[in-house]
Amino acid sequence: MHVVLGPSGVSLDDVVAVARHGARVELSRPALDALAAARRVVDDLAAGPEPVYGVSTGFGALAVRHIPPSLRARLQRNIVRSHAAGMGPPVEREVVRALMFLRLKTLASGHTGVRPEVAAAMAAVLNAGITPVVREYGSLGCSGDLAPLSHCALTLLGEGEAEGPDGTVRPAAELLAAHGIAPLELREKEGLALLNGTDGMLGMLTLACADLARLFTSADIAAALTLEALLGTDKVLAPELHTIRPHPGQADSAANMRKVLAGSGLTGHHQDDAPRVQDAYSVRCAPQVTGAGRDTLAHARTVAERELAAAVDNPVVLLSPDGGGRVESNGNFHGAPVAYVLDFLAIAAADLASICERRTDRLLDKNRSHGLPPFLAADPGVDSGLMIAQYTQAALVGELKRLAVPASADSIPSSAMQEDHVSMGWSAARKLRTAVDALTRVVAVELYAATRALELRAAPRSPGSPGLEPGPAARAVVDAARAAGVRGAGEDRFLAPDLAAAEEFVRSGGLVRAAEEVTGPLV
């Protein structure tokens, strides 16, 4: 598996392939030509008498100082060293790989002015499986993800620490030497170009988009199983009802649920035990809530795709048709477009988790579950069933609500008021990663409760009276969950392993694959 980088950008799938699956990176001939052309512009400006930001001046509030040629290599090396000032725990390997790959993507655009050797060194580090140690705190999401990118650039210089392909943290110089990679000696503008981008927050947005796409489908499946277990009606999923409120995500979620519920022997029994004109909101409005999350995700993907086609740096090299060019300062490094959608997705994740938890609570409450035992316990009173699983789920929902508070509404001035408005996009991205993990667990608890409830529905209601059978898709999900270690109904036992198995079943995509074996592709 490999990804070829050209001047025009990359896809979301490319980022996931490199960051998460270790795909190799290759620089195309057009990318190398673009790099060389932009470098000629920088070299010409460096040889001239006029001060040019990033080439022959200091940085940020120190840009007023003109730097003579004899100090420029030191200037570029120093910006990397001084800006590698992160603190806190190490950031996940896949995030750091995404960060480096996206910075390399911008280098390959031919707008940064670095030499081809710089891009080649970054590709070599990625392909060697060397992952710089990047710390949790240090980015304000403006002037790029400065500290995180600086820690990556430090590895290219053979300084600092990095994680080898075996997971062991060692001095970067040792790892480069072990893989035959020469440390870089930076020239004009190159240190700045390695630091000045929104690559960390964009990388985390891209990974979250992949995870949330799977989670929204998983939530549709779990909601359908809960509807079955509560003897709800699938009439609310009729296509014509969703056509008259034409939100695409809503229609997709309703279509997924219809497929999962096809052939069910449980739906439509809502009049048997007590008259019910309508199901509760948490059941009836599932497509509207999950669908709104889907539409939020579609907007976030649009923003991500625009960023993946962008060249984010300051200053940038702009080439002219005659082969010349100029270097211009700009504000494209500001993370606001990415920060907003990161926060928006955290809100959608929190609300989806909230409705999942309400459905779970309904399954466990004998007054609202239409004939299911309290807490789905084998012997209520002696057994507590899933009582505390719902507590855990509620705690996760509470955490998700706190994580939904926008980071992008904040701004703290920096660099002696030169950088007086920042995006906080890195912070938005970090909390979204936590939110995605929490949502995975919330969906897993609903799935666990729903599969247990379906087993109880299928049990004979009385001698000679067979139970109610779920549809083929639900049966496939129950069977696959049991095979994955998510144990079924029975007397109380150590519950945490079952919940962990359910979480992995959702996170790995096992839930979606099990349903699709019956339904065909779900969206």
Residues 440 and 427: their CA atoms lie apart, in Å, by: 20
Q: Which of 452, 451, 469 is nearest to 460 (CA)?
A: 469
User: According to DSSP H, which parts of 157-237 are helical?
Assistant: 172-178, 190-195, 199-229
Q: What is the dihedral of CA 136, 341, 215, 457, to 10 degrees?
A: 120
Among residues 53, 281, 340, 448, the one annotated as catalytic is: 53
Residues 165 and 181: their CA atoms lie apart, in Å, by: 15
Close Cβ partners of 117 (under 8 Å, ≥ 6 residues apart) = 184
The pair of three-digit structure tokens given for residue 91, joined into one six-digit string: 């950031």
The pair of three-digit structure tokens given for residue 284, joined into one six-digit string: 């009836």
Quick one: angle between helices 199-229 and 248-261, nearest 10? 40
Residues 312 and 143: their CA atoms lie apart, in Å, by: 10
Quick one: angle between helices 472-483 and 496-507, nearest 10? 120
Contact of 364 with 374, CB cutoff 8 Å: yes
The full 3-state SS of 237-264, as one line of letters, equals HCHHHHHCCCCHHHHHHHHHHHHHHCCC
The full 3-state SS of 54-118, as one line of letters, equals CCCECCHHHCCCECCHHHHHHHHHHHHHHHCCCEEEECCHHHHHHHHHHHHHHHCCCCCCCCHHH
Contact of 194 with 151, CB cutoff 8 Å: no
Active site residue 448: no
3-state secondary structure of 315: coil
Residues 128 and 131: their CA atoms lie apart, in Å, by: 9
Work out whether strand 24-27 and strand 2-5 pair parallel, antiparallel, or are unpaired.
Answer: parallel
Residues 314 and 330: their CA atoms lie apart, in Å, by: 6
Q: Write out the catalytic residue numbers.
A: 53
